[in-house]
């Protein structure tokens, strides 16, 4: 993962370069409180009020990179019987799972959809790492934001750190629908420290959550890693219609197969690659195929190789996305060995 560094020139000129190396495995922790009952703690929701933690003294972080931190996101969705039915709050906190320290200066894209219809998508920013949004449900198709602008990336930012960003959007007004929320981190630690996903989009902290208003009066805590989008099954070596049991004969065509499933919510275009190496590490054969899988779809991937020399061989298979332009692994690699007899 690379970082793009933006610098503002002053006199004298000072450029600070920060590097970010992100752990590709990220975790989301989400807590929802909808329609609080009398047994739950009551929070004030007036403009300028803050949720637990937002009034704590500021933490002093040195110039830092993601490094070996695990970026977690805590989300709380609140509505309360003392509030209007069309008013809800979404509270965000970005923090390091290992130390529980809040991560400051985070810009992130938030997208909320319902049945492939985009209900809200904006770039938001928090200087403190904690952000509250006040959501007023409307019936119109377009959303509106009332807040200040962060001067570097032009994301929405509260007028002050304790105030919420006010959003008017067609959200949370349908008790029978399931909403999907996606948060993708855009910058971290410094307002101008942008995460570039060109090298590997799966290294960018990215959080997905599906929820519905049926979750009211419950507290939901989610903790999960972000999996690779393609899940592969066990390796199978086949000659003709028969599985290979440790060896095959010289000149016998071998099929290297595995079952792949698209477990991501998005369509995937990828390349299935198989390489064969002899016992000296020299490449004896390579083959690949381009494939496509819709969300939830699975298929058998198959490449072939015909041995022309006896010996022991290692077979590696990979699933890569965007193979021609900028290949990145989107599934775990597979490896096995086979003997070729005369």
For the segment 200-227, what is each residue's pLDDT rounded down to a tens digit? 555 677 787 777 666 554 444 433 345 6
Q: Give me the pLDDT at residue 201, please.
A: 57
pLDDT the model gives residue 322: 67
Same domain? For 245 and 201 the reply is no
Residue 217 counted as domain residue: yes
Can you give the pLDDT at residue 111?
92
Looking at per-residue pLDDT, the higher value among 193 and 158 belongs to 158
Same structural domain, 65 and 189: yes
Report yes or no on 61 lying in a domain.
Answer: yes
What are the tens digits of pLDDT across the range 113-150? 988 789 999 999 999 999 999 999 898 778 999 999 99
pLDDT value at position 226? 59
- Tell me, letter by letter, the H, E, C secondary structure of 193-211: EEEECCCCHHHCCEEEEEE
Among 21-25, 95-99, 183-187, 270-274, the range scoring the smallest mean pLDDT is 21-25
Within a domain: 235: yes
Q: Give me the CATH number covering residue 243.
A: 2.60.40.10
The answer to whether residues 243 and 190 belong to one domain is no
Domain endpoint, select from 225, 250, 267: 225
Instruction: Show which of 225, 248, 281 is a domain's final residue.
Output: 225
Residues 100 and 235 grouped into a single domain: no
| Residue 1 lies inside a defined structural domain of this protein | no
Same domain, 139 and 266: no
Q: Which residue has the higher pLDDT, 27 or 5?
A: 5
Average pLDDT over residues 309-322: 90
Asked whether residue 180 is domain-assigned, the answer is yes
Residues 21 and 213: beta-carbon distance below 8 Å: no
Q: Which of 163, 194, 225 is the last residue of a domain?
A: 225
How many domains is the chain built from?
Answer: 2
Is 3 domain-assigned?
Answer: no
Q: Are residues 209 and 249 in the same domain?
A: no
With a cut of 50, say whether residue 293 has pLDDT above it: yes
Considering the domain architecture, whether residues 150 and 169 belong to the same structural domain is answered as yes
Which burial class, exposed, middle or buried, applies to 245 when counting CB atoms under 10 A from its CB (0-12, 13-18, 19+)? Answer: exposed
Residues 201 and 297 in one domain: no
Half-sphere exposure (Cβ direction) of 65: Cα atoms closer than 13 Å: 16
| pLDDT at residue 253, as a whole number | 94
**What pLDDT is stored for residue 329 in this prediction?**
80
Residue 259 has pLDDT above 90, yes or no: yes
DSSP, collapsed to helix, strand or coil, labels residue 17 as: coil
pLDDT band at 234 (very low <50, low <70, confident <90, very high): confident
Q: Kindly state whether residues 124 and 207 are assigned to the same domain.
A: yes
Taking CB atoms within 8 Å and a gap of at least 24, the contacts of 289-292 are: 290/323, 291/260, 292/267, 292/268
pLDDT of residue 91: 87
Using one digit for the tens of pLDDT, what is the confidence trace for 49-96? 333 333 332 333 222 246 677 788 888 887 765 667 788 888 898 888
Between 241 and 15, the higher pLDDT residue: 241
Can you give the pLDDT at residue 332? 82
Together in a domain, 142 and 86 = yes
Same domain, 37 and 69: yes
Answer whether residue 35 shows pLDDT above 50.
Answer: no
- The mean per-residue pLDDT over the stretch 21-25 comes to 32
Judge whether 277 lies within some domain. yes
Determine the structural domain holding residue 63 and report its residue range.
27-225
Mean pLDDT of the 268-275 span: 92
- Please check whether residue 22 lies inside any domain of the structure: no
Q: Which residues pair with 249 in a beta bridge?
A: 341
d(CA 176, CA 76): 20
Select the highest-mean-pLDDT range: 11-15, 64-68, 187-191, 279-283. 279-283
Average pLDDT, rounded, for the chain: 74
Claim to verify: residue 264 and residue 195 sit in the same structural domain: no
How many CB atoms sit inside 10 A of residue 83's CB? 14
């Amino acid at each position: 993962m690379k970082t793009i560094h933006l610098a503002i020139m002053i006199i004298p000129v000072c450029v600070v370069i920060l590097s970010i190396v992100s752990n590709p495995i990220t975790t989301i922790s989400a807590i929802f409180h909808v329609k609080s009952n009398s047994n739950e703690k009551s929070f004030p929701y007036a403009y300028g009020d803050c949720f637990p933690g937002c009034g704590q003294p500021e933490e002093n972080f040195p110039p830092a990179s993601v490094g070996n931190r695990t970026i977690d996101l805590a989300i709380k969705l609140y509505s309360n019987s003392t509030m209007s039915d069309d008013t809800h709050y979404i509270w965000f906190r970005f923090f390091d799972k290992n130390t529980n320290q809040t991560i400051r200066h985070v810009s992130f894209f938030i997208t909320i959809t319902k049945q492939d219809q985009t209900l809200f998508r904006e770039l938001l920013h928090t200087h403190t790492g904690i952000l509250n949004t006040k959501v007023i449900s409307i019936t119109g198709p377009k959303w509106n934001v009332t807040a200040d602008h962060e001067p570097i990336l032009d994301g929405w930012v509260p007028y002050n750190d304790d105030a919420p960003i006010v959003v008017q959007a067609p959200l949370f007004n349908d008790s029978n629908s399931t909403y999907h929320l996606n948060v993708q981190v855009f910058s971290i630690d410094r307002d101008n420290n942008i995460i570039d996903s060109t090298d590997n989009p799966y290294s960018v902290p990215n959080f997905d959550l599906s929820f519905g208003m049926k979750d009211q009066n419950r507290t939901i805590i989610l903790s999960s890693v972000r999996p690779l989008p393609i899940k592969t099954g066990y390796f199978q070596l086949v000659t003709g219609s028969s599985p290979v049991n440790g060896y095959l004969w010289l000149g016998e065509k071998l099929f290297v197969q595995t079952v792949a499933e698209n477990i991501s919510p998005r369509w995937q275009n990828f390349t299935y690659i198989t390489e064969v190496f002899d016992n000296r590490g020299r490449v004896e054969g390579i083959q690949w195929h381009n494939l496509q899988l819709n969300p939830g779809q699975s298929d058998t991937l198959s490449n072939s190789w015909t041995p022309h020399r006896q010996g022991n061989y290692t077979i590696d298979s990979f699933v890569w996305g965007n193979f021609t332009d900028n290949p990145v692994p989107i599934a775990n690699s597979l490896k096995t060995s086979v003997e070729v007899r005369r």
